[in-house]
Amino acid sequence: MRSQSGADTTVDELIRAARAMAGRRTILGIAGAPGAGKSTLGSTLADALGDQAVVVGMDGFHYTNDELVRLGRRDRKGAPDTFDVHGYIALLTRLRDDSVDIYAPAYQRGVGHSISGAVRIPTTTPLVITEGNYLLLEDGPWSQVRSLLDECWYVDLNEKLRIERLIARHIDSGKEPDAARDWTLGPDQANAELVARSRSRADRVIVLP
């Protein structure tokens, strides 16, 4: 496990590292707690690499709110068992076969559900970046994910800043400030603590200030 620190210098170095992977079809995972900056880093890398990379989020495999109500898990949305992990594993497995274009779902924050076929992964795209909380988890079927990634990075962020950003994200998505704080410090924090225990399995830890 390698550790990198610093925001500005790290991004340039990570772009170079990601560019070096873009030869054959390679899958790079970006893991971390909710609000740590996984999506931002993935988008930054993909923007820098252009048609050499595409981002596929694990969040596209969220169960719908209606399904979570049926399962009695609506109040724990975001926990490991509230995702279609088998569907996610199937996608990662398919990504090894670049003989056809592949379409993946994307989660729409604010709307609260995923859009099927929203992300196209062309056969000619050498680097697939997939980001999500549980890529390094060792429990249940999630334990199969790590072996499907060529490399996995873990994004770590100052805890106070991570919580502030997460509260702001929930407010932007339509929650009232008190509800946003309660969700962040409740279900989200429980998920964050679970994710943090998988940190040591990463190939590289990016420590943001």
Count of the separate structural domains present in the chain: 1
Q: Which pairing describes strands 102-108 and 113-121: parallel, antiparallel, or unpaired?
A: antiparallel
Least confident of 44-53, 91-100, 147-156, 182-191: 91-100
Strand ranges for 58-158 from DSSP E: 102-108, 113-121, 127-132, 151-157
Residue 38 CB neighbour total at 10 angstroms: 29
Between the CA atoms of 187, 192, 194 and 197, what dihedral angle is there, to the nearest 10 degrees? Answer: -170
Per residue in 87-125, pLDDT (tens digit) is: 999 999 999 876 889 999 999 876 667 899 999 999 989
Per residue in 115-144, pLDDT (tens digit) is: 999 999 999 899 999 999 999 999 999 999
Residue 118 CB neighbour total at 10 angstroms: 15
Do residues 207 and 4 lie in contact, with contact meaning Cβ atoms separated by under 8 Å? yes
Q: Is pLDDT of 159 > 90?
A: yes
Those residues with Cβ within 8 angstroms of residue 162's Cβ, 6 or more apart along the chain or in another chain: 33, 34, 35, 36, 192
Q: Which domain holds residue 130?
A: 2-208
Between CA 75 and CA 106 the distance in angstroms is 21
